[in-house]
Amino acid sequence: MLNIPKPTLVKILQNLSIAGIIETKEGKQGGIRLIKKPSQITVLDILNAMESGRPLFQTTFNIMAEGKRPNNAQKSISSLLDNAERNMRTTLNQRTIEEVLLEMDN
């Protein structure tokens, strides 16, 4: 239904399983199910499962220029992106999958 390539889907399911969000079973009674209730899973939990702790923004740059201004520019941009990621993670931690599912029905 979402038209996700099979290798990508396998990786997504593996990541969610490793994070303890889903379990998969093979066979006649098999399938995929949540291990926790949707009210216990935050959107941040899903993001963390997918990103495996990697930062969302690259904050190291290959700047050829040297000196006070280029160094300060890199520090400023790195700080800005770090703050944006912290704020986003805080926001995503406040929303549960249950809330998202309820909004889908509205």
pTM (whole model) above 0.85: no
Number of H helices and number of E strands within the chain?
Answer: 4, 2
Residue 60 has pLDDT above 80, yes or no: no
Q: Is the pLDDT of residue 55 over 90?
A: no
User: Average per-residue pLDDT in the chain?
Assistant: 90
Write the CA distances from 56 to 40, 69, 83, 88, 106, integer angstroms: 23, 25, 11, 10, 30
Indicate the CATH number for domain 6-104: 1.10.10.10
